[in-house]
Amino acid sequence: MAATHRVSAVIFDLDGTLLDTERATRDVLKEFLGTYGKVPDAAKEEKRLGQMHRESTTGIIADYGLPITVEEYSEAIYPLYIKRWQRASPLPGVSRLLKHLHKNGTPLALASNSIRRNIDHKILKLGELKDCFSVVLGGDQVPHGKPCPDIFLEAAKRLGVNPSSCLVIEDSLVGVQAAKASGAKVVAVPSLQSQRHCYSIADLILYSLLDFHPELWGLPPFDDRIQGALSMEPLLSNAQIGDAVLNNTHTVIAGERTYDSIPDQISGIFFGWAKSETYGVFKAVVSIGWDLSPGKFERVMHIRVLDSHYKAKTEDPLELLLIGYIRKLQSSENISQAMSITDEDQATARDAPDLPAFSEYAKARGALDLPALPEYAEPRNGLLLA
């Protein structure tokens, strides 16, 4: 791919971009407001995504009529957030991208609207990846937070580059606005899929960092795909077989826990293993997407079992272990067409698990013998296990 713009440094947001903290803390406000007999308003909370701590806190107190000050609110809710941050994991594609850019000498910065104290707690969940950043900035370290450009201008200054030579990767709309105002190029990876239509000012919009191509920005390309397959941190799920779509491909009936360990940013064609109580464990290719057509807003999953002995039966329970990524969905206004699983996808999904590069996941099949997913699936030894 030819570079559309050459950049010399990359600046990342943290929450919802690098770490899945927003899903991990999704019920914190509900729990806190419940002590006051209040219930969160989803529409209002969506608009708060990416806001500065004080702005967000002031808005929450006003919107729900809480009889407390900003300081009292922060002191009371902080322990709840610290506990939930421990459940956060790097989002798909993050580890691969950070290691690749760092290895190739690309200057990296982290710029978040979170206050620095909170960043220091959360960044620990990145493990050794936190050492890839030569600059780390919080919203309390600049005069104005996002959507003002201050934090990106300061990050570029500390990196020793011009803001126009930077690429910013963001999940929130306020972050995208701030990055554009700084003069940087912006890749948006929205954490709220319902707001994807609001991100048109970004230079590029992705579903996840699995689809990021460094060469588009004049950066060294990845060279880690093997026969069309890309290794990723395994994702464990459970669901039921739904109606047939086409050529032995079936819809997946999602239960309450189906997407517990699958981030909202996940979209595309994946492969791994599926376990049926009747037929045992077999290879499978799975397409995951979002139906954002008028009047709809829902996740959709299709599965193609790669075993001729498997006879699909509606509502047959399945456990899924996805270990690799093939490609993004096709461009189509029709969600079923976009999620079509091709013969090439099937060939990749059939062969890839047996390649040496995926041999470490052979033992991961044991995850399919575990009980149902817990309240929130936490990573353990690299797998999303109970």
DSSP per-residue codes, 216-285:
GGTSPPP---BTTBEEEEEEEEEEEEEEEEETTEEEEEE-TTTTTTS-TT--EEEEEEEEETTTEEEEEE
Backbone angles phi, psi at 358, to 5 degrees: -105, 10
Q: Which of 123, 192, 107, 111 is nearest to 149 (CA)?
A: 111
Residue 280 pLDDT: 85
Residue 285 pLDDT: 96
Tell me which of 13, 150, 171, 316 is the catalytic residue: 13
From CA 214, how far away is CA 93, in angstroms rounded? 12
The tokens describing 249, both together, are 């491909």
243 is catalytic: no
Can you list the alpha helix ranges (DSSP code H) found in the chain? Answer: 21-24, 28-34, 42-47, 53-63, 70-85, 94-103, 116-122, 150-159, 173-182, 335-338, 343-351
Instruction: Give pTM, 2 decimals.
Output: 0.87
Residue 189 pLDDT: 97
345 is catalytic: no
The tokens describing 336, both together, are 């079923």
Question: What are the pLDDT tens digits along the chain (386 aa)?
Answer: 556 689 999 999 999 999 998 788 878 888 888 899 989 888 888 778 767 778 888 999 999 999 999 899 888 888 888 888 888 899 999 999 999 999 999 999 999 999 999 999 999 999 999 999 999 999 999 999 999 999 999 999 999 999 999 999 999 999 999 999 999 999 999 998 888 889 999 999 999 999 999 999 999 999 999 999 999 989 999 999 999 887 789 999 998 888 888 999 999 999 999 998 888 889 999 999 999 888 888 999 999 999 888 887 888 899 999 999 999 999 888 888 999 999 999 999 999 998 988 877 766 566 565 443 333 333 333 333 22
From CA 376, how far away is CA 121, in angstroms rounded? 20
Tell me which of 15, 203, 211, 316 is the catalytic residue: 15
Residue with tokens 């052979």: 362
Ramachandran assignment for 331, one of left (phi > 0), alpha (psi -120 to 50 degrees), beta (any other): beta
- Report strand pairing: 135-137 vs 108-111: parallel
Helix, strand and coil in the chain, % to nearest 5 = 35, 25, 40
